[in-house]
Chains A and B, each alone.
Chain A
Amino acid sequence: MTGKFLTMVLAVLIFVAVVGVILFIASRAERRSGKGVALMFLLPTAVMLGIGLLYPAGRTILQSFYDAAGTSFIGLGNYETIFTSSDQLVVLRNTALWVLVTPFVATAIGLLYAILVDGARGEAAAKALIFLPMSISFVAASIIWKFIYAYRPDQPGVEQIGLLNQLLVWLGGTPQQWLVSAPLNTLFLIVVMIWIQAGFAMTILSASIKAIPEDVIEAARLDGVNAFGMFRFVTLPSIRPSVVVVLTTIAIGTLKVFDVVRTMTGGQFDTSVVANEFYSQSFRSDNQGLGAALAVLLFILVIPIVVYNVRQMRASEAR
């Protein structure tokens, strides 16, 4: 215990010493020109990003053209596997379902809630309730929901301990194993992500709703616009750029979802997604080639979403 904290203090001290040396050299270089200072200030970042991001990413891209052991070159073989083997096609289908459903539902709920509580009494507390799931880990969130879905065999004398099955029993149905039958089980996992992300959507959108100029709202009100018209013609057009940012951010986060799938089902029962499959192939099945190809695929899938986001931002700035 104390040993660990000593290690930590030592690490921080080493780091402080390094930064101290950099600052010292930089202040000496100052006399000649600003360039030396820039070099010193950027050096640690360049080293970190070079070794920690650029080099490994390059290695992974190369690795994705090699076989499971990483020894013989097989061209696009791994990518072929991803798009042809039946297991991997299920993974792709699930990932598509995640990315299509989560951002829209989470954003819609976040927006609805932001409008409902806007200016109400206790607005801050009401928002904190929805936002709280943002601050906990995906693993804890998954455990919370796994308990909601908990199933006990349907026998006399056995009570349900999961809320969802209990509700079903109260309504006269029979309890279900929610996480076992595909493809519905993926939707039950998606619920967890929506529950986490709605708070993020609400926070961003609430801030942009509050930024709508008062006189615009006033003018619409004087024109006798009703609540729905207000949303359709005043609120929505004003916050459109924020909606795009929220949608794309949640989409990117959803694309990389791994903790939820791993904790809820471990990827069994046809629930795996690309990010989870990457982990299992790389570290469980020891298929480094396929794992690398899945990681690269994740990278490729993120790019169009980011490009769209940047384009929309440019467009809204130009207006």
Chain B
Amino acid sequence: MSTTTPQLDLTPEERASLAKMSTTGRAAANAKKRLTSPWASFFAVVLAVLWTIPTFGLLLTSFRPELLIKTTGWWTIFTNPELTFANYQTVLSTEGSAGLGNYFVNSFVIVIPSVLIPICLATLAAYAFAWIDFRGRNFLFVLVFALQIVPIQVTLLPLLTLYVDAGLAGTFWPIWLSHSAFALPLAIFLLHNFMKEIPRELIEAARMDGAGHVKILFGVLLPLMKPALAAFAIFQFLWVWNDLLVALTFAGGGTDVAPIIVGLANLSGTRDTAWHLLSAGAFVSMIVPVVVFLSLQRYFVRGLLAGGLKG
């Protein structure tokens, strides 16, 4: 919105209110557009309902008694509202074949180092690529960037052999180390892009004051890096929490180190039709990522837009 007449006799407040008016004007125009196209609203609602119903149905199911789930559809809940927490009690317990409690704890133990380690290492590497001149810098950076496209499938078998030979099989180390290594190319790329946007003058000024690289990294850059670090942290958190392939390969099916997703996948494989357990188990596995996502959505989206193209 640009006004062609210069408004020289305006106070900043008046200018702000004018700007506000123009945005409300835009909103009003949009609302008008909305009202004149009931079809648009209709389609939007249809899509939203289509996308929500599957989850909603399973959520209602997770609170119904086993017998009812097996004999009637979840849509009968409105005529026969019988609710229970028994399913959640079963899946949250640490006993029995359907108890996912241990797995749930493992997920936390797996996810924290798997987020911290790559963030720290990538910060150091990104700084070196962004602010230190050395021979072969560009070549190395392109190599790290290219490693993003290596499918993790290509690495799993030899890595498993390595871990077994090193006597690490059955501990958390293989999962921590693998997730950390796989995350590095993307993390370095994201953080490097962000560091490059920081004005050179800031770094030069600190150099003038006699600060070395370590000091500049911790004193000048890190405080400015918070949004980028948060974006990557959330990204990596969701990735590790929801991962099945890496966990299945390195943690097997035991309750010692396997995360909740593996527990859920096992349950789905062995108790194919136990919907009272599968539904509750699915929501137990979802609660953490959904809370993280909803409370930190802004950062996550920012990370996506910055080119978080992992998969």
Contact = CB atoms under 8 A, between A and B. Distances in A.
Interface of A: 1, 4-5, 7-8, 11-12, 15, 19, 22-23, 26-27, 30, 34-35, 37-39, 41-42, 44-45, 48-49, 51-57, 59-61, 63, 109, 112-113, 116-121, 126, 128-140, 142-148, 150, 159-163, 166, 195, 198, 200, 203-204, 207, 214-215, 227, 245, 249, 252-253, 255-256, 258-259, 262-263, 266, 275, 278-279, 282-283, 288, 291-292, 294-296, 298-299, 302-303, 306
Most chain B Cβ neighbours within 10 Å, of A26, A52, A138? A52
B184 A60 contact: no
A299 B106 contact: no
Contacts of A8: 109, 112-113, 172
Contacts of A35: 132, 134
B147 A53 contact: yes
A48 B180 contact: yes
B304 A203 contact: yes
Contacts of B242: 136-139
13 contacts: A7-B171, A8-B172, A37-B128, A45-B184, A119-B34, A147-B54, A150-B273, A160-B73, A207-B305, A259-B244, A259-B245, A295-B151, A299-B151
A11 B177 CA distance: 11
Interface in B106-153: 106, 109, 112-113, 116-117, 120-122, 124-125, 127-128, 132-134, 137, 140, 144, 147, 149-151, 153
B241 A137 contact: yes
B18 interface: no
A7 B44 contact: no
B73 A133 contact: no
Contact of B157 (A145, A161, A288): A288
Given A133-B51, A136-B286, 12 more contacts: A42-B140, A49-B184, A52-B180, A52-B181, A56-B158, A57-B154, A119-B30, A135-B300, A161-B73, A245-B309, A256-B153, A259-B265
Contacts of B16: none
B225 interface: no
Given A227-B37, A283-B249, A52 B122 contact: no
- Interface of chain B: mostly helix, strand, loop or mixed: helix
Given A140-B285, A147-B57, A302-B149, A296 B75 contact: no
Nearest to B272: A146
Interface of B: 1-2, 26-27, 30-31, 33-34, 37, 40-41, 43-44, 47-48, 51-55, 57-58, 61, 69-75, 105-106, 109, 112-113, 116-117, 120-122, 124-125, 127-128, 132-134, 137, 140, 144, 147, 149-151, 153-159, 162, 171-173, 176-178, 180-182, 184-185, 188, 212-215, 238, 241-245, 248-249, 261, 264-265, 268-269, 273, 275, 278-279, 281-283, 285-286, 289-290, 292-294, 297, 300-301, 304-305, 309, 311
Contact of B109 (A4, A256, A282, A291): A4
Given A42-B128, A48-B184, A49-B147, A275 B282 contact: no
A48 B127 CA distance: 17
A121 B55 CA distance: 24
B58 A161 contact: no
B39 to A, nearest CB: 9
Contacts of B58: 143-144, 147
Given A120-B34, A204-B305, A166 B184 contact: no
A137 B244 contact: yes
Contacts of B214: 23, 26-27, 30, 37
A27 B180 CA distance: 25
A252 B308 CA distance: 13
Nearest to A135: B293
Contacts of A117: 44
Contacts of A42: 124-125, 128, 140
B71 A200 contact: no
B309 to A, nearest CB: 5
A53 B155 contact: yes
